[in-house]
Structure 1
Amino acid sequence: MPLVTVCGVPCSGKTRRAVAIRTAIDAYLQAHADAYAGWTTVLVGEITHDRQRAQDYVHAADEKRVRGALLSHVERALQPKTIVVCDGLNFIKGFRYQLYCVARALGTTTATVFCAAPPAAARAVNAARDRASERWPDAVLDDLVNRFEEPNGMNRWDAPLFMLLPDDPLPEAELVAALLDRAPPKPNLSTVVKAAAPSDYIGQVDRDLLSVMQAVAAACGAASLGGVLPEAIPVPLTDVPVHPRGRPYTLMELRRLKRQFTQMNQRLTQSDRHQLVADFVAFLNIQHRD
């Protein structure tokens, strides 16, 4: 699910670069088909809704709608075994941060390609276009150039950053390595979707803790009838034993400690039953003192 964000002012060669990036990645995937079987590359661009593209940047409301549609398109395209190349102006750093957050939440890598054409060169390319419908109005082009927020490789949402002048060759190997050979950023814990607990989770937890109590009570009861109190009492669901420390647990004490443990962990969101039981055993060992 890696994501490449292409950005630059109008007429800076973004679409040409985006197509070249897709072609280079496709060639790499084909050359390493054994390791990347089933992988594909998707090119995502801005949707203009059958009108001149520049009109979408005349009014703020239209501009916001275009960015929202592009973000949704990227979110839908980021699927397993799919590398997404986002071709757009992407001139606002806040929007590039949104794209980064979407990729980070999915646990995948990102890269930013900045088409760093000088404004004068972009204006010359725009003026040289044959069809008037493909040219940007001078006022709109100048406004976008003035508002463009250049990416900064020091920002995590822009890194790694590849800044390319119009005649620079595409760093294919470095770009592929940034996408496929690099560990993805850790997701924000507040945005991680946790698996839903089973409907009988609380009941199962209660039964697990009761099984620990029963094992401890049985061992301590045998000791009170003339047996030897073991130094370590094995319990179900964990390799961590309960340590009586020479003094047997009473049933009343076990009930009290279980009640305290469940009150301290009211939500009981630990999905690993074995770890939860181990935590309960550790709680018993800490609270039961000589």
Structure 2
Amino acid sequence: MALITISGYPSSGKTHRALQLKTFLESKLSEPDYISAGGRKFKVVIVSDDSVGIKKQDYDNARTEKPARQTLFTTLQRLMAPDTLLIIDSLNYIKGFRYQMYCAAREMKVRVSTVYVVATAEKCREWNKERREKTEKSYSDETFENLLMRYEEPSSMVRWDSPLFTVPWIDEDIPGEDIWKAITEGVIKPPNAGTQAVAKAPTDALRTLETITTSMVSSIMSEQSLSSSSSSITIYLPSAPDVKVHLKLPPRNITLSELQRIKRQFVTVHKKAITLGTTEKGAVDWSEESVARKFKDYVEENLKP
């Protein structure tokens, strides 16, 4: 249903605001006059650093921070759903990461919004030190200052941060009604070429591609030597003898070098789709039979007189 990104300085009160928001949204969902689309029962879920096992120390250096962010992103991808109000309670201080989450939301066709928790740097330092004195989880002074310096403030002028709701530390509560309206009535932006998932080939696709094309080249040469006058041959796949591929050949002898050249071209073209993925609509079939039929069409096209 929606992805709500919480962003702010370290120790600025993001978790407090996330809990306030969760309480508010659950109260709205429980109102008797609220009717959900399609009769779905919605739920509110918070994904935080703590909930996915990210420690404050993970932000000490890029070597540990990068996999921590990936863990957070993988979790939100798994939990994002049409019946879920997903709140991401983390630093989310890098605009590129916020854009990545925005793209994932567009792919899932859910609404988005950003809550910017604002507190002065001095106030955040004070709260971080108080946590340390209480033996609570806190950032080291060096990491804290580094995060402050690197923080990229959300902007309502960019699509991945909007609609943007700013909550100063002096406010008692969040702008719940405005957020509710944004995530229930806002426009759901459809996925585009930049946000669509790329269909990946199975792990054995390269092996299948090479094995089937090599086998078919050998079979074509063998069949041609046995029936040189025939313009049509039938090829059986060694791993699938019940699959037959009928191939039309021109009225001349086909040399091995010709077939090898065609095979190399075919494999090169399809290797790119396997390694980089494809944005073709629907599932891409990399089965042995499918590869064999594609290669058969490719051979016929390139051997036309």
Residue from 133, 138, 144 that aligns with 1:135: 138
In structure 1, which of residues 32, 39, 42 is the aligned counterpart of residue 42 of structure 2? 39
Counterpart position of 1:164: 167
Q: Check if 1:149 corresponds to 2:152.
A: yes
Deviation of residue 54 (structure 1)?
2.3
Residue equivalent to 1:18:
18
Alignment check: 8 A CA contact 1:48 1:56 kept:
no
Task: Output the CA distance in 2 between the equivalents of 1:43 and 1:174.
Answer: 19
Residue in structure 1 matching 2:89, options 76, 87, 90: 87
Cα distance in 1 between the residues matched to 2:181 and 2:97: 24
Q: What does residue 100 of structure 1 align with?
A: 102
Aligned AA (1:163): T
Q: How far is the alpha carbon of 1:189 from its aligned partner? A: 3.5
1:6 aligns to what SS in structure 2? strand
> Which structure is higher in strand share?
2
CA distance in 2, matches of 1:72, 1:145: 25
- Matched letter for residue 188 of structure 1: N
Residues 162-184 of structure 1: per-residue CA shift (max 9 Å, x gap): 11111223111100001001111
Q: Give the Cα separation in 1 of the matches to 2:30 and 2:179.
A: 16
Q: Which deviates further from its counterpart, 99-108 or 180-189?
A: 180-189
| Alpha-carbon distance in 2 for matches of 1:50, 1:175 | 28
Q: Which amino acid aligns with 2:181?
A: A
CA distance in 2, matches of 1:24, 1:152: 24
Partner of 2:260: none
**In structure 2, how many angstroms separate the alpha carbons of the residues matched to 1:270 and 1:142?**
47
Instruction: Give the CA deviation at 1:145.
Output: 0.4
Query: Quick check: 163-172 or 87-96, which moved more?
Result: 163-172
SS at match of 1:31: coil
Shift of 1:132: 3.3
Q: Secondary structure at the match of 1:100?
A: helix
Residue 29 (str. 1) matches residue 33 (str. 2): no
TM-score by length of structure 1 reads 0.63
User: Tell me, what secondary structure is at the counterpart of 1:175?
Assistant: helix
Counterpart of 1:75 in structure 2 is 77
Query: Could you say if the C-alpha distance between residues 140 and 12 of structure 1 is closer, same or farther in structure 2, counting changes exceeding 3 Å?
Result: same
**Largest Rg, 1 or 2:** 1
After the TM superposition, which segments of 4 or more aligned residues of structure 1 sit over 6 Å from their partners? 48-51
Aligned partner of residue 46 in structure 2, secondary structure: strand
1:247-282 deviation line (CA, Å, top 9, x unaligned): xxxxxxxxxxxxxxxxxxxxxx999xxxxxxxxxxx
Q: Does 1:187 align with 2:191?
A: yes
Q: Deviations over 1:210-235 (max 9, x none)?
A: xxxxxxxxxxxxxxxxxxxxxxxxxx
Q: How many pairs are equivalent?
A: 197
Contact 2:7 2:89 (C-alpha < 8 Å) held by counterparts = yes
User: Does residue 13 of structure 2 align to residue 9 of structure 1?
Assistant: no
Contact 2:28 2:34 in 1 (8 A): no
Residue 153 of structure 1 aligns to a residue in which SS? coil
